[in-house]
Amino acid sequence: MLHHIELWVPDLERATVSFGWLLEALGHTPFQSWSNGRSWRLGATYLVVEQSPALTAGEHDRCRPGLNHLAFHVEDPGTVDALVAEAPQHGWSLMFPDRHPHAGGEQAYAAYLENADGFEVELVAIDASGQG
């Protein structure tokens, strides 16, 4: 089981707005808070965003070696759609809008979102049929 993920971000306030909204919408609860970071927990696993003084670059590039994206299960297509509709208010934009909601293939109902700092998340409907 995954213990935690730590993302180093260039702007803690922006990351708290975008990731905080998303994680809480997905059922995570605030877990830790300190001057350079925040975390949210779901079960035994938590996700950290930290603006570390040891950063060596000012932006994340998901196309370089390292983290490309995080993928989360979402209950159903209606929930994916609701999150996509609200996402821009929290710093996220829809990627691949011309292929949404099947950018990952016809078998999946998913949304790909990117925040202002270049972090990508994928929201995948557990029940892609929407029929329970």
pLDDT digits (tens, 9 = 90+) for 79-102: 999 999 999 999 999 999 999 999
Q: Is the pLDDT of residue 48 over 90?
A: yes
CB 45: neighbour CB atoms within 10 A? 13
Nearest by Cα to 28 from 56, 55, 53, 5: 5
For residue 47, pLDDT over 60 is answered with: yes
pLDDT, mean over the chain: 94
- The Cα–Cα gap between 5 and 78 comes to 27
Q: What is the per-residue pLDDT for 132?
A: 44
- Mean of the pLDDT values across residues 106-132? 88
> Please, which pLDDT band fits residue 127 given cuts at 50, 70 and 90?
confident
